[in-house]
């Protein structure tokens, strides 16, 4: 912390020329102060994050090039890129985990976005009981993942759960839910939707409230229907908030861990049916003590997500332009 | 006495790992607050959240008075303990002194990593501690590469939990695996939602319970360092356990660890249940179980090779090599695993590893009489391990458990067993290499 | 307006209410089940026949309050959550403004890397550093590690908000004689109040729920709620009722606090505008 503080002050008062692209401001003097201000505002956060991440990153990359096993605090010979080669040729655990990660993320995030957007639109205009609704939305978010995992295990237990009890009372066939190899991942996606749609809704609701109202009123005067107003007026204005929420949620969904581990145990269940990349990385680290391989997996995983995000952002940027 | 110096090698190697000057600069900026621990440094104990640990924690003031130092005891689940040890000891952490470990799961690896203090001198040199008083199987398990690195405090055997009211119609509790299968099938009534048998079915978690079945069929996980999981005996044991849960068990058995299996028996929805004897307190607890008046306890049934249940030290105490309170840590082990405390806890219904406690007349009445008989019989017949004895136990369990899952799902066991056997063979070669390195 | 149109609008608003109701039911029912379980014995929790009509017991709550650890942990969680969120907002909101205003999207995406890296690869290196600094077990390390999660989160959410705000307002303020920072402080920040409040709320939620950092970096005195909940899961049995009661106990006050906090945060941020 102290080091961050001093840096801020130095940045603030110092005369060192800041590099970076010029801001889109008209006057020259404004541009100069703007540039200085820009870095003064940005530096503390960037510096903090960089300070926290540089050692772990170096540590992980270094580890991924060794065959570290058992303990990392003993010397391990470097093996070059062998860990990466081993992973990429592993069709038993790695590639299925990649597939499940992608399926889980896309399935859950798409549902959450659509549902979250719909809910945000419904809740946009204040009405009686609004506070209650918002409260209810917060509860799944504030309940500790451990409790959520156990709660769903109880509800969905094939023998003793209330879900099957209600199904059979209604004359419907009983389900195995998390007990079945095939139904596990879809069930977990639904649990994720239950847990995280509220966050989507809250983010989009905040986005909607900051939108100017004039364009919509103008469209109303022009006789545009509700769908047209949504499609052609609100959605374009909401696009930045929507894409930010989508990326945020997608990144989090890619590394979902708590709920998978709490309900399916190590290795994502008996047939690895819920083993995503993060669950696999956890298993390699804490169950197998294959630190080199785990580090390679994490490095690969991080790299792929960063690339995806950059591509997504670039695509979005082009569309904006 | 044996206060460990700051592990220079570790600092050097981790330092080397820090690529580039950025990390190096950071490291040198961080002074290390080492030196002798002060009087208010607590003795830190990390333990499994187990009745044993809870009982010890209640008696802790007595020990704190004895050493004149605060004791901080964290109770965690097995997974959390493993993760915490991994993080802390990989960074040569000094903030854990006494470690409660699963000797059969962690000890070989931790000892190889040089994370555990060698206790041989302290254990052997202490006449009042009486090392020979510990049962032979747990005592053997405490030794890795000729050194005593842990002291067993809790032992476990499997027990057949059965419903007396239901078992009456099939002639009492089954004495053989064959009659267990027969009775389970007979008592299964899927329409009425009652199952003949319930037990763990999750790949990794089920392995330890399945081991007794494997031994009783005459098999083992490995023989002479080679995989033995595709031998006819092992395949028969896989097939038996798979059939039992597939035909007489509840749906979703492959997602069942103890937390799911136990409530099914406790709700009166299953006739038979085999799991560790440590679980009996839950089944007799009226807040948990509706079968407390109808439950009976029987020894593990005999298979083609007789009744060969496991008899293992499930939890042991060890000392972190990096701890700066080695003497106080040992004082804790002496106190908590000593003859007096062992007898006291066994009398409270927590089975330990000391023969003297098992013989003690006060402990006879601690358990229901049929449970006490079953435990005694099982202990006599017992085998000292319930999982493969390798470095990477977690990985071995994942491999060995695969045919088990196939069986429970009603699939053919043999091809999966052959496949797993090949994987296990490769695994053992690599694991052996690591053991020697 | 014609009568049909009015009737159509009324039907529409009724439909809207009904839809909200149904969706809310989907989100609320599991929680109802949790609250109910908090008042049940363990036998009742695992018996689906018991449902919602049963004679409630307060035994679960009694044993939790008697133990006291849950309350202590709530205090710790609250402290870590509030401090880490406040400090993170202090760092992240100005940074997000800079990124959003000056369109530094590459820098913006870079910050997301911090969010992508899985926690397991942070644990050992951090532990190594913090142990050398003698910080393990302190609140400082819990706050610092949590800030690593919160700073990118708040920044990421706020960037889009600042980018979405019209630049003209700030420019007008500048011509009125406000400094660039003054324009940000007096004009832009209040306009972004709903976003800031939401971002802070979410940062708090992530802190409240963080398990891994607390497990490894806290000691028995600084332990937070997610770790404490595991006290109800012991080796041979799980205390479902106790766990659900604890989960209820920690959820309800936080929901209330979060709502009030959000309200005052929005009000506080917005009032800055009127004063300016």
What pLDDT is recorded for position C249?
Answer: 86
Q: If you average pLDDT over residues A148-168, what whole number do you get?
A: 91
The answer to whether residue A61 sits within a structural domain is no
What pLDDT is recorded for position C192?
Answer: 85
Where in the sequence is the domain holding C233, given as residue range(s)?
68-275
pLDDT at A132 over 80: no
> Do A41 and A167 fall within a single domain?
no
Where in chain B are the domains? 8-14+37-155+313-366, 158-309+385-436
Chain C residues with beta carbon closer than 8 angstroms to that of B75:
231, 234
What pLDDT is recorded for position B362?
Answer: 82
Name residue, tokens 């709660």. Answer: A151
Q: From C103, B362, B267, select the one nearest A21 (Cα to Cα).
A: C103
The answer to whether residue C25 sits within a structural domain is no
CA distance C250 to C242: 12
Chain C residues with beta carbon closer than 8 angstroms to that of B288:
42-43, 237
pLDDT at B3 over 70: no
What pLDDT is recorded for position B366?
Answer: 87
| Residue B10 touches chain A, beta carbons under 8 Å | yes
pLDDT at A310 over 80: no
Task: Write out pLDDT tens, residues A245-268.
Answer: 998 999 899 989 989 988 998 889
Q: What is the CATH number of the domain that holds C82?
A: 1.10.3720.10
Which pair of tokens denotes residue B328? 């106080």
Q: Do B113 and A267 touch (CB under 8 A)?
A: no
Cα-flanking dihedrals φ and ψ of residue B285, to 5°? -85, 115
CA distance B315 to B104: 9
> Do A1 and A102 fall within a single domain?
no
Task: Write out pLDDT tens, residues C210-265.
Answer: 888 998 898 888 999 888 888 888 887 888 899 999 888 888 877 777 777 767 76
CA distance B359 to B429: 43
Residue of C73, C236, C239, C244 to mutate, testing the B interface (most B Cβ within 10 Å of its Cβ): C236
What pLDDT is recorded for position C230?
Answer: 83
Which pair of tokens denotes residue A310? 């950059």
Task: Write out pLDDT tens, residues C109-135.
Answer: 778 788 888 888 899 899 999 998 889
What pLDDT is recorded for position A32?
Answer: 67
C 130-189 residues with CB below 8 A of A?
A: 144, 147-148, 151-153, 155-157, 159-161, 163-166, 171, 174, 179-181, 184
| Residue B246 touches chain A, beta carbons under 8 Å | no
Task: Report domain B8-14+37-155+313-366's class.
Answer: alpha beta
What pLDDT is recorded for position B123?
Answer: 96
What pLDDT is recorded for position C2?
Answer: 67
pLDDT at B115 over 70: yes
Q: Do C129 and B83 touch (CB under 8 A)?
A: no
Query: H helices within chain A, ranges in order?
Result: 2-13, 28-64, 82-88, 94-122, 130-142, 145-156, 162-169, 184-210, 214-221, 226-228, 235-254, 258-264, 277-282, 291-320
More confident residue, B3 or B261: B261
- The nearest alpha carbon in chain B to A272 belongs to B203
Beta bridge partners of B156: B312
Q: Do B88 and C137 touch (CB under 8 A)?
A: no
Chain C residues with beta carbon closer than 8 angstroms to that of A247:
112, 156
Weakest-pLDDT range from B174-188, B244-258, B336-350, C168-182: C168-182
Residue of B14, B17, B111 to mutate, testing the A interface (most A Cβ within 10 Å of its Cβ): B17
What pLDDT is recorded for position B183?
Answer: 97
The answer to whether residue A269 sits within a structural domain is yes
- The nearest alpha carbon in chain A to C93 belongs to A41
**What residues contact A32, with CB distance under 8 A and at least 6 apart?**
none
What pLDDT is recorded for position C269?
Answer: 64
What pLDDT is recorded for position A31?
Answer: 62
Chain C residues with beta carbon closer than 8 angstroms to that of B77:
230, 233-235
Distances (CA, A) of C87 to A89, C147, C148, C269: 45, 8, 11, 16
CA distance A213 to A64: 52
What pLDDT is recorded for position B19?
Answer: 38
- The nearest alpha carbon in chain C to A167 belongs to C48
Q: Hey, which chains touch A, using 3+ CB pairs under 8 Å?
A: B, C
Q: Do B33 and C128 touch (CB under 8 A)?
A: no
pLDDT at A316 over 70: no
Residue of B252, B388, B401 to mutate, testing the A interface (most A Cβ within 10 Å of its Cβ): B252
CA distance A106 to C40: 38
Closest by Cβ to B250, choosing from A69, A74, A159: A159
What pLDDT is recorded for position C181?
Answer: 83
Closest by Cβ to B75, choosing from C43, C123, C231: C231
Closest by Cβ to A142, choosing from C103, C211, C251: C251
> Do A26 and A170 fall within a single domain?
no
Q: What is the mean pLDDT of chain B?
A: 90
3-class secondary-structure state, position B173? coil
Q: Hey, which chains touch B, using 3+ CB pairs under 8 Å?
A: A, C
Weakest-pLDDT range from A12-21, B227-236, C183-192: A12-21
> Do A104 and A3 fall within a single domain?
no
CA distance A42 to C99: 8
Q: How many structural domains compose chain C?
A: 1
The answer to whether residue C177 sits within a structural domain is yes
Task: Write out pLDDT tens, residues A78-123.
Answer: 999 999 999 999 999 999 999 999 999 999 999 999 999 999 998 8
Task: Write out pLDDT tens, residues B15-43.
Answer: 344 333 334 344 444 444 455 688 889 99
Beta bridge partners of C238: C233
**What residues contact C69, with CB distance under 8 A and at least 6 apart?**
C223, C228, C231
3-class secondary-structure state, position A78? strand
What pLDDT is recorded for position B223?
Answer: 94
Task: Write out pLDDT tens, residues B183-222.
Answer: 999 999 867 679 999 999 999 999 999 999 999 999 999 9
Q: If you average pLDDT over residues C130-151, what whole number do you get?
A: 93
Residue of C132, C136, C140, C239 to mutate, testing the B interface (most B Cβ within 10 Å of its Cβ): C132
Q: Do C259 and A138 touch (CB under 8 A)?
A: yes
The answer to whether residue A199 sits within a structural domain is yes
Q: What is the CATH number of the domain that holds A220?
A: 1.10.3720.10
Chain C residues with beta carbon closer than 8 angstroms to that of A72:
124
Q: B43, B332 in Cβ contact below 8 A? A: yes
What pLDDT is recorded for position B248?
Answer: 95
CA angle A20, A23, A24 (to 5 degrees): 150
Q: If you average pLDDT over residues A70-74, what whole number do you get?
A: 85
The answer to whether residue C229 sits within a structural domain is yes
DSSP states of B89-117: HHTT--S--EEEE-IIIIIHHHHHTT-B-
Q: Grade residue A4 by pLDDT with cuts at 50, 70 and 90.
A: very low
What pLDDT is recorded for position A234?
Answer: 92
What pLDDT is recorded for position C271?
Answer: 58
What is the reported pTM? 0.89
pLDDT at A26 over 60: no
Beta bridge partners of B48: B76
The answer to whether residue C203 sits within a structural domain is yes
Q: A183, A177 in Cβ contact below 8 A? A: yes
Percent of chain B clearing pLDDT 70 (strictly above): 91
Closest by Cβ to B269, choosing from A71, A159, A270: A159
Where in the sequence is the domain holding A280, given as residue range(s)?
98-290
Q: Grade residue A189 by pLDDT with cuts at 50, 70 and 90.
A: very high
pLDDT at B54 over 90: yes
Chain B residues with beta carbon closer than 8 angstroms to that of C235:
48-51, 77-78, 278
Closest by Cβ to A159, choosing from B201, B204, B264: B264
Q: Do A30 and C92 touch (CB under 8 A)?
A: no
The answer to whether residue C87 sits within a structural domain is yes
pLDDT at A185 over 90: yes
Weakest-pLDDT range from A128-137, A171-180, B279-288: A128-137
Q: If you average pLDDT over residues B378-388, what whole number do you get?
A: 93
What pLDDT is recorded for position B25?
Answer: 40
What pLDDT is recorded for position B4?
Answer: 38
The answer to whether residue A173 sits within a structural domain is yes
In CATH, what number does B158-309+385-436 get? 3.40.190.10
What pLDDT is recorded for position B180?
Answer: 97
Chain A residues with beta carbon closer than 8 angstroms to that of B17:
58-59, 62-63, 72
CA distance A178 to A268: 11
pLDDT at B177 over 80: yes
pLDDT at B7 over 80: no
What pLDDT is recorded for position C270?
Answer: 63
pLDDT at C268 over 70: no
Q: How many structural domains compose chain A?
A: 2
What pLDDT is recorded for position B22?
Answer: 39
């Amino acid at each position: 912390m102290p080091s961050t503080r001093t840096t801020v002050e130095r940045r603030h008062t110092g005369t060192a020329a800041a590099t970076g692209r010029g801001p889109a401001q008209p006057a020259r003097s404004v541009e100069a102060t703007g540039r200085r201000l820009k870095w003064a505002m940005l530096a503390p956060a960037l510096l903090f994050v960089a300070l926290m991440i540089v050692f772990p990153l170096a540590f992980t990359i270094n580890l991924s090039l060794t065959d570290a096993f058992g303990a990392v605090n003993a010397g391990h010979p470097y093996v070059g890129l062998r860990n990466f080669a081993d992973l990429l040729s592993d069709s038993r655990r790695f590639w299925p985990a990649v597939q499940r990660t992608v399926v889980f993320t896309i399935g859950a995030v798409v549902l959450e976005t659509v549902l979250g957007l719909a809910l945000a639109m419904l809740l946009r205009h204040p009405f009686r009981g609004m506070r209650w609704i918002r409260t209810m939305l917060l509860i799944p978010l504030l309940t500790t993942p451990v409790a959520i995992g156990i709660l769903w295990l109880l509800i969905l237990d094939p023998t003793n759960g209330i879900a099957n009890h209600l199904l059979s009372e209604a004359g419907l066939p009983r389900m195995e839910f998390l007990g079945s190899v095939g139904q596990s991942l879809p069930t977990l996606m639904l649990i994720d939707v239950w847990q995280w749609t509220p966050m989507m809704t809250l983010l989009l609701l905040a986005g909607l409230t900051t939108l100017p109202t004039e364009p919509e009123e103008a469209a109303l005067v022009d006789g545009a229907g509700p769908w047209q107003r949504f499609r052609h007026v609100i959605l374009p204005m909401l696009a930045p908030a929507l894409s930010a929420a989508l990326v945020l949620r997608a990144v989090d969904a890619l590394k979902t861990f708590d709920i998978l581990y709490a309900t399916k145990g190590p290795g994502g269940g008996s047939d690895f049916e819920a083993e995503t990349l993060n669950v696999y990385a956890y298993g390699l680290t804490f169950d197998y003590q294959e630190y080199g391989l785990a580090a390679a997996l994490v490095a690969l995983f991080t790299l792929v997500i960063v690339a995806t995000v950059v591509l997504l952002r670039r695509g979005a940027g082009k569309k904006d332009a | 006495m044996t206060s460990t110096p700051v592990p220079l090698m570790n600092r050097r190697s981790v330092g080397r790992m820090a690529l580039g000057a950025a990390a190096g600069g950071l490291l040198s900026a961080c002074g290390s607050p080492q030196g002798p621990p002060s009087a208010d440094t607590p003795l830190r104990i990390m333990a499994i959240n187990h009745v044993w640990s809870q009982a010890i924690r209640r008696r802790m003031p007595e020990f704190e008075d004895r050493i004149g130092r605060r004791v901080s005891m964290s109770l965690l689940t097995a997974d959390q303990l493993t993760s915490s040890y991994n993080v802390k000891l990989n960074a040569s952490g000094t903030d854990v002194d006494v470690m409660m470990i699963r000797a059969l799961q962690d000890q070989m690896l931790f000892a190889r990593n040089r994370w555990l203090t060698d206790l041989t001198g302290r254990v052997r040199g202490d006449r009042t501690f009486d090392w020979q008083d510990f049962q032979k199987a747990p005592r053997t398990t405490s030794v890795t590469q000729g050194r005593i690195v842990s002291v067993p405090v809790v032992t476990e055997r499997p027990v057949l939990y059965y419903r007396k009211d239901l078992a009456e119609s099939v002639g009492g509790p089954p004495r053989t695996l064959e009659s267990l299968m027969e009775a389970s099938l007979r008592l299964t009534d899927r329409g009425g939602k009652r199952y003949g048998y319930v037990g763990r079915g999750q790949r990794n978690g089920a392995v330890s319970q399945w081991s007794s079945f494997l031994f009783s069929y005459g098999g083992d996980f490995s023989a002479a360092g080679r995989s033995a999981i595709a031998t006819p005996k092992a395949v028969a044991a896989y097939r038996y356990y798979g059939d039992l849960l597939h035909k007489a068990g509840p749906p979703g058995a492959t997602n069942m660890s103890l937390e799911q299996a136990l409530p099914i028996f406790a709700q009166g929805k299953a006739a038979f249940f085999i799991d560790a004897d440590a679980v009996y307190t839950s089944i007799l607890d009226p807040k948990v179980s509706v079968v407390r008046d109808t439950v009976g306890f029987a020894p593990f049934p005999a298979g083609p090779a007789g009744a060969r249940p496991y008899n293992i030290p499930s939890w042991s105490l060890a000392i972190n090599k990096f701890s700066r309170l080695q003497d106080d840590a040992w004082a804790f082990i002496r106190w908590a695993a000593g003859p007096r405390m062992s007898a006291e806890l066994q009398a409270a219904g927590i089975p330990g590893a000391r023969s003297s406690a098992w013989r003690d007349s006060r402990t006879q009445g601690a358990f229901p009489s049929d449970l006490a008989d079953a435990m005694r019989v099982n202990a006599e017949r017992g085998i000292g391990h319930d999982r493969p004895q390798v470095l990477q136990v977690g990985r071995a369990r994942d491999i060995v458990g695969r045919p088990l899952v196939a069986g429970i799902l009603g699939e053919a066991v043999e091809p999966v067993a052959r496949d797993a056997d090949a994987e296990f063979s490769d695994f053992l070669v690599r694991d052996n290499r690591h053991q020697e390195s | 307006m014609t009568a049909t149109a009015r009737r159509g609008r009324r039907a529409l608003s009724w439909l809207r209410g009904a839809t909200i109701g149904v969706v809310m039911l989907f989100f609320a029912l599991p929680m109802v089940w949790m609250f109910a379980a908090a008042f049940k014995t363990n036998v009742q929790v695992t018996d689906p026949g018991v449902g919602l009509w049963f004679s409630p017991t307060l035994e679960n709550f009694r044993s939790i309050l008697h133990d006291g650890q849950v309350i202590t942990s709530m205090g710790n969680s609250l402290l870590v959550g509030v401090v880490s969120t406040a400090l993170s907002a202090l760092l992240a909101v100005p940074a997000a403004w800079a990124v959003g205003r000056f369109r530094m999207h590459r820098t913006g995406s870079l910050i997301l890397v911090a969010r992508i890296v899985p926690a397991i690869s942070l644990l050992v290196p951090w532990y190594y550093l913090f142990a050398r600094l003698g910080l393990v077990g302190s609140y400082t390390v819990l706050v610092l590690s949590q800030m690593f999660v919160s700073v990118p989160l708040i920044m990421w959410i706020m960037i889009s908000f600042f980018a979405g705000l019209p630049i003209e307002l700030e420019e007008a303020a500048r011509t009125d004689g406000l400094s660039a920072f003054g324009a940000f402080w007096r004009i832009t920040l209040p306009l972004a109040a709903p976003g800031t409040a939401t971002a802070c709320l979410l940062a708090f939620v992530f802190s409240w729920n963080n398990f891994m950092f607390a497990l490894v970096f806290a000691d028995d005195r600084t332990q937070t709620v997610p770790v404490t909940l595991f006290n109800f899961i012991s080796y041979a049995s799980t205390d479902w009722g106790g766990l659900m009661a604890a989960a209820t106990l920690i959820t309800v006050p936080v929901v209330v606090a979060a709502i009030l906090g959000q309200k005052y945060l929005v009000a506080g941020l917005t009032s800055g505008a009127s004063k300016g």
